[in-house]
Structure 1
Amino acid sequence: MTSITRIKLSTMMFLEFFVWGAWFVTLGTFLGSNLKATELETASVFSTQSFGAIIAPFIIGLIADKYFNAERILGVLHLIGAFLMYQMYHSDNVGAFYPYVLTYMIAFMPTLALVNSVSFRQMTNPEKEFSVIRVWGTIGWIVAGLSISYIFHWDSAQSIGEGLLRNTFMMAGVASLILGIYSFLLPKTPPVKQQDKSSSVSDILGLDAIKLLKNKDFLIFFISSILICIPLAFYYQNANPFLTSVGLDNPTGKMTIGQISEVMFLLLLPVFFSRFGFKKTILVGMLAWAVRYLLFAYGNANELSFMLIIGIALHGICYDFFFVSGQIYTDARAGEKYKSSAQGLVTLATYGVGMLIGFWVAGFVSEYYRGAGTESFWQSVWLVPAGIAGVVALLFVLFFKDRPVPVDAATDKPYGIESERQELTSLP
């Protein structure tokens, strides 16, 4: 990879996650404080992310893998997103807000797989090169959060009362417009040419990536991805409102501590891969979710504020060791033909099905404890995802086996050099 290509991909990642972090972190606080949304209305809005993620594999399979350059689709989707952000900025109630955020998420979620596809296609050794590129996405998220708290102060009690938190949508819209235009300058990423031009319906829609689930290990990983995203949804939906309500100063800015730790642990991923393998790396990420929620449950903004800060800081392990590891694991197992479709499939499992269930579970749990008038409301809420994460980690330990030899999950056979070596050594 040339230096120019590395800079282009890094800038792409920075803008991609700046756009997301500029409004999504404070969405729960905005809905409750500015739009007066109930817990279940908040869950409904957050669920739009999952609907977009469920549709994403079809968009990627239909377009990016088959007919059009991935970077061009990325540009078009972000230009559409800029317009929708402007409409969300002007919405003054949940009913008006919902159609725009739903349409936006359908446009945005496929871009998470597209930026990965554009990046992986330029790399010869993703396990070593991807982390260095992906870390700029984390930096983009950090810059967005710090801007909200320490430059514009939109998340202060006074600004929230004045309705200034809606400015996050305008900031995200401007960044989306810039990325939409910039995407057309990215390295060309045409669809992979196939010898067989005849395509079934499942092939056109990218559903061939489902063949990866025939591999038992990949299936266990896929199911675990769905389940671990239930506690993840609690964090996205409740963390900022929780930190705001308990009185932690500059909550959005302090939440960037999680992304700062993400930068560090992202750069450590190659070391963990080589020394401990995928299974132990992913398992550590799962256990970190349980520990984080226990810290949230028993910490406070006063003498135990350090527990909240540590819980936030664990985000680097929580996210990198499971989700980024999963992206690399998927790329290694998919084979050349299904790379984009496979990334879309993982998006379906994580940000789609798992978080759709998680957002509604979080909504019902919060609604239940709030309606019950529980004094330790937030403690009760956080203990639920802590228990779920612990159970998922246990199931993963029991059923997932990490095989060091690269395997094409669609055929459950080794590919590349290892395939040739195994075939030669198996000859009589």
Structure 2
Amino acid sequence: MTGVTRRRLLAMGGGLAAMAVAGCGSNTGRADAGSGGSSGDKPALAQWYHQYGEAGTQQAVERYAKAYPDATVTVQWSPGDYDKKMSTALLTDQGPDVFESVNGPTIDMIKANQVVELTDLLGDAKSDFTPSLIDRMTYRGKLYAVPQVTDMQLLVYRKSLLSAAGVQPPETVDDLLAAAHKLTTDKVKGLFVGNDGGVGVLGGPALWSAGLDYLTEDNQFGFDDPAAIESLHKLRELFTSKTLLLGAPTDWSDPSAFTQGLTAMQFTGLWTLPAIQKAFPDDFGVLPWPKLNATTGKPSVPVGAYGSCVNAKSKNVDAAKKFVKWLWVDQTDDQLDFAQSYGFHIPARKSLAAKADKLKSGPAADAVEFVNENGHAQTPILWSPKSSTAYSDALNRIIRSGADPATEIKTVKTAVDAELKRINN
């Protein structure tokens, strides 16, 4: 689920955009299809994925694609800044036919008619998909992506280290700050929230812990509020506390900092639990991000899903839609395999979640309960990339440079208000 997604990198500078264009070229991953976009008697389809970190995932999706009987599907596995590469490719005629996008396509992709409506693909299965995921991928009553699996972020902690330090699992942000201090030694840091100090992953939890959100229910700016100021101050306090692990060999989405004993607590993803279970079989627990204080906010976990989309510029739109339906609606065995066998993920369908044996006990079961009780969609669909960048830049200035949260929130509000006006015109 990274701005706040699983491994997502926020859009970077123009130099990288130029690299992305060069990297796309004619390398769509599509089989040699000639001018007709077909291979032999079957249409040829290119399917793009970002680079998952869990071993075996690439081989699994290639196996699914090979088994599809009605088209020749070639998988392209894309390391690096997948989001930038994908959004650039959609502007050309060399993009994929089918691609995954974090939380579905952006509002700008939808407004620019870069993606195809997929409402008709779900049929009777619609009620079986997690409603919040369907809502997140729907705009004005039309579905633009089919959820693949549900991912979530959470806090993991070493039970033995907390016990030795006399620390209870934190229930408020102040509890978390105090725990991080007590758990920090000359060999172990108290908490790891990413090498950027939480800029990339704590934007949502900071709002939800204060009882706020990115946007209000009527789609207005959601956090011009004293509680947001206090919550963002806490992130700066955490950054300057000397209790955070910074400069770890791998970032927050990988469990290595935790499993190698560099930190007592880490904000990471559900997908890391198999590796953590292997390292510390009975010596770890999971928590949501805590509420702001005893009277304000609620605990929270970010929830998101990569959605399978169809490129409107595909030469085989109908064939691409048919493949998406086959893989992400009809092939329930493959969907369960994708969710359980390569790290832990929650199936996007309720009936499959009930069959996910690995999620029925221990910390994984606790995590599923957090999703049900404290889950928040990572961002609303009207939270555009420009809004995301404005907030990320503000978080960076607040957390790492000590900028005034009140001033930064007003700057973000100006940018978001302009984006909402643009989108709604």
Question: How does the TM-score come out when normalised to structure 2?
Answer: 0.24
TM-score, length of structure 1 as denominator length: 0.24
Report which of the two has the higher share of helix: 1
Higher RCO (CA-CA < 8 Å; seq separation 6+): 1
Question: Is the strand fraction higher in 1 or 2?
Answer: 2
